[in-house]
Chains A and B, each alone.
Chain A
Amino acid sequence: MVNKKKILIIEDDQSLSSAYRAKLSLHYDTRSAITGDEGIKLAHDWMPDLILLDLFLPGKTGQEVLQDFKGHAKTKHIPVIVLTNLEGQCDKMLELGAISCLIKTATSMQDIVQKIEEYLQPEV
């Protein structure tokens, strides 16, 4: 059995989170977290190959979560795609080490899949 690449989705909106999982689960192994702290713990325990990160989260903000990932040797190499509607924040997130920053309302599911495929080859 082929091991699927792992994607961690950190998103507090459950319908959006489940839509991402439904879209991605055919080709990837996905898990989701709804708070920043939960996301950080899961990233350390599960070691995903890529992380989708929302910015507006309960508790720790997405920016703090991203800084945490980039500040730890264990997680700093994991590519992070920020998905947000706070477009003013994108430049900052790229500076902090996100590989991409997509505006949710201006991005289709297909755009997200394509962006992920630039970094992870899907297992078929």
Chain B
Amino acid sequence: MKSIAKFLKSLLRQNQDMPLVRQNVNFVKKSEEHYKKPIVKKAAPVIYSDLAAKDKLLQETKSFVASIVESADDAIIGETLEGTITSWNKGAEHLFGYKGEEAIGRSISTIYPPELRDELPKMLERLKRGEYITHHQTVRMDKNSKRIPVSLSLSPIKDAKGNVVGVSAIARDISKEKELDRLKDEFISLTSHALRTPLSAIKGLISMIYQGDYGPMNDNLRKPLSNISISTERLIQLVNDLLNISRVQTGKLEFVLSAFNINDPIQKVISQLDPLAKETGIDLKFVAKPHAKVQADVEKTIDILNNLISNALKFTNKGSIEIMVEERDDMVVVMVKDTGIGIADKDKDRLFQKFQQIANPTSKQISGTGLGLYLSKTLANKMGGDVWLVESELKKGSNFAFSLPKSGSKRALEAKQSLLIEINNF
């Protein structure tokens, strides 16, 4: 039988273009013998050549897969459903320090730090149900008990009938990414201090000169000092926005969710901005206040409201700004409607992108950082809400909306859970 197979294989090699017939052949291979035996009985040469080609293809595929597995930098590990290691590539040897012959046959818990061993049964249970676990960031342990941060992707291995018979695990060393994260955090922290301390000094000194702490104030200096003060505030805002964006992107911005009446932060922001509105002759009105309770972070809600109302003030030269609260199903929506210069259709799409500024040709006010709307929307999204443009027409005004989940609603619960998941992933 061996010689026949050999002969057919060599025949196939000489006749590479021979057509292959696939009918009547069960290609689900269980063992070498399984397909060789019945085929000899049928003695159909075309089928032989087909199977020989299949065998060749299978061998080549196996060898191709094996070469990928062996040359991969990532650790690729095969396990039984009980967690016994069945295969261990060079990447695994390199990452965990165990040779293949040491690792195969041992339990995968060998590379689990003792404090994380509870993870194993839970993971195996999920895999047995056919679930995939992807990009799970955790820690494993090498032969010298050194902790290694890894990103794990685990897949169930299924047999022909779809039964889960084992597990394949890919572990990627993310030490470098973690180190970069740490450096980034350190950089943010240093920047926040290094840039903001001199800014605090400038801010403090300007106010003291203004208030006559260094002697009588010269009237000629009022205007330039006021401009220095506005620029300093703008720089402080820019640094704060950049820090917040960086924190939000790295999941480092902490959200303290609580239930509160949305009217409270609105009143607070209005009272802060009212002097500026009066100065420019704008009527700032809070017209609808249904006492709706939201679930959100109070400080971040104030930041968002401050951004929307300040923008309205910045782009309104005459008329009014109306703030309304509406309840819509699970959400509470705050609308900020102005009679300002409006937004051109071509600008509407880029409103919520980073560093986008819409020019106000009629206003002499110093423009913002171009980060406000982007940050407001990002913060609102994290709390389960949103910020969007309802409508805007040039020379007539704009209407922006800001939504937050109503306290105790299903949406509020989902937002809370989603923030928790995010915290756990970092």
Interface residues of A (CB under 8 A from B): 13, 15-16, 19-20, 22-23, 56, 85-86, 88, 104-105, 107-110
Contacts and interface: CB of A to CB of B under 8 A. Distances in A.
Interface of B: 189, 192-193, 196-201, 203-205, 207-208, 211, 213-214, 236, 239-240, 254
B196 A16 contact: no
B208 A19 contact: yes
Contacts of A20: 204
B198 A105 contact: no
Contact of A16 (B189, B204, B213, B236): B204
B208 A23 contact: yes
Contact of B208 (A56, A86, A105, A109): A109
A23 B207 CA distance: 10
Nearest to A56: B193
7 contacts: A16-B197, A19-B201, A22-B214, A23-B208, A107-B200, A108-B203, A109-B204
Given A15-B198, A23-B213, A105-B236, A85 B204 contact: no
B213 A22 contact: yes
A15 B198 CA distance: 8
B196 A105 contact: yes
A13 B201 contact: yes
A13 B254 contact: no
B208 A13 contact: no
B193 A16 contact: no
B208 A104 contact: no
Contacts of B254: 88
A101 to B, nearest CB: 14
B144 to A, nearest CB: 33
Given A22-B208, A109-B208, A86 B189 contact: yes
Nearest to A12: B197
A91 B236 CA distance: 22
A109 B200 CA distance: 10
A86 B193 contact: yes
Nearest to B193: A56
Contact of A110 (B192, B197, B207, B240): B207
A25 to B, nearest CB: 10
B155 to A, nearest CB: 39
A105 B189 contact: no
Given A19-B205, A108-B204, A109-B207, 20 more contacts: A13-B200, A13-B201, A15-B198, A16-B197, A16-B204, A22-B213, A23-B208, A23-B213, A56-B193, A85-B193, A85-B196, A86-B189, A88-B254, A104-B197, A105-B199, A105-B200, A105-B236, A108-B203, A109-B208, A109-B211
A27 to B, nearest CB: 12
